[in-house]
Amino acid sequence: MAKNHHIIFKKRPGVNGEPAEDNFGYEECDYPCDPQNNEVLLKTLYLSIDPAMRCRMNEETGVTYIGPFGIGDRIGGFGGVGVVVKSANPDFQDGDVVHAGFNWQWVENFLETPGEHFPLRKIDSSLVNGQVSLYLSILSLTSGLTSYLGVKVKGHVTPGANQTMVVSGAAGACGSLAGQIGKLEGCSRVVGICGSEEKCQFLTEELGYDSAINYKTKDVSSELQKLCPSGVDVYFDNVGGDLSNTVIKQMNTDSHVILCGQIAVYNKDVPYPPPIPEDVQRILTDKNITRDRYLVLNYPDKFESGMKQIVEWTVQGKLKVRETIEEGLQNAGKAFVSMMKGGNIGKQLVHVGDS
């Protein structure tokens, strides 16, 4: 019998604790039976590693759209790319390479009925030139579409309006795309905030960001004053906390925060979105700054047109992507822990197997 392995959830880090590798366990499990009744047998090629998994590690996630992991359960992650090993479903053939944006199990091989836990879609290999992992980064729900639709629906970017955009978590999966999209949509200046010199260089030398600030070594407030002399018009916020309070203090009247994520407080026992200090709330109110909750899942009607635009920019070479790939399913927990601490540039993925 062929061998199979999966990752189980072993231990909660605690609502105020940092996730650790021993929260996850790599174990042998049964190899699935042959597919029946519309099922497909899938072999995982790549897994998407996403910050939203952090809230699933608590007993209560604090959000309605995903539930907590059970202790001892196999991790049901976010996106995955795999190959159909054997199909009992007329829509899929053996050898099809497929992807899904949600609920892909952290296991080498598994049975799935397409459409039951997630829509399963075939990969258009002509779009990605063999690099199928792109379906979990630039062509994915949780980074490509999240960045694009965030800018579109919450950013109010107006070509010719000489707007300055600031992006936090700027060298990550969403952030690295958001700033490029801000420019493509018409912002005249884009400034990224991230956690290392290497990341700053990536933003300015490879992605076309005008400038970048290393928040770990620089005073963000004074750097922003220098780099954004006419203030901030659009803030793509992946991070929250003190860093975001500092940015909001330099925002213009009638400007816009794209409240994408608040990773700085994911290891803290606070509601989502977390409360912000009174003085910052007063600035938002006095300056009429919008800061609505943003969840990509709320815009399914815009997925198709959004993806069309992302594909067009990618094919034209206008939108660039980076992936940080950890090798081996046994290292999926390690990859998650590393991403939460800034170990990634661009999208964090795990390479599990080959087709």
Quick one: which of 41, 184, 213, 296 contacts ligand NDP (CB under 6 A)?
A: 296
Residue 263 binds ligand NDP (CB under 6 A): yes
Which of 105, 133, 238, 244 is close enough to bind ligand NDP by CB under 6 A? 238
With beta carbons less than 8 A apart as the criterion, state whether 259 and 237 touch.
Answer: yes
Using CB under 6 A, pick the residue from 146, 163, 180, 250 that binds ligand NDP: 146
Q: List the structure tokens of 201.
A: 């260089």
- Phi/psi for 239 (5° steps) reads -120, -45
Least gap, CB of 116 to ligand NDP (angstroms): 23
What's the one-letter identity of residue 52? Answer: A
Told to check if 155 binds ligand NDP by CB under 6 A, we report no
Asked whether position 175 contacts ligand NDP by CB under 6 A, the answer is yes
Is residue 145 part of the contact set for ligand NDP (CB under 6 A)?
no
Residue 68 — left, alpha, or beta (φ > 0 → left; ψ -120 to 50 → alpha)? beta
Interface residue with ligand NDP among 41, 187, 260, 352 (CB under 6 A) is 260
* The pair of three-digit structure tokens given for residue 350, joined into one six-digit string: 């795990």
Per-residue tokens: 213: 């600030």
Which CB, 82 or 101, lies closer to ligand NDP? 101
d(CA 113, CA 220): 49
The pairing of beta strand 189-194 with beta strand 24-29? unpaired
Nearest CA to 68 among 23, 101, 108? 23
The residue range among 115-123, 179-187, 190-198, 273-281 that interacts with ligand NDP, by the rule CB under 6 A, is 190-198
Note whether 227 binds ligand NDP by CB under 6 A: no
First to last CA, the chain: 19
Binding of ligand NDP at residue 294 (CB under 6 A)? Answer: yes
Interacting residue ranges for ligand NDP, rule: CB under 6 A: 50-52, 142-143, 146, 169, 171-175, 194-196, 199, 238-239, 243, 260-264, 294-296, 339-340, 342, 344, 348
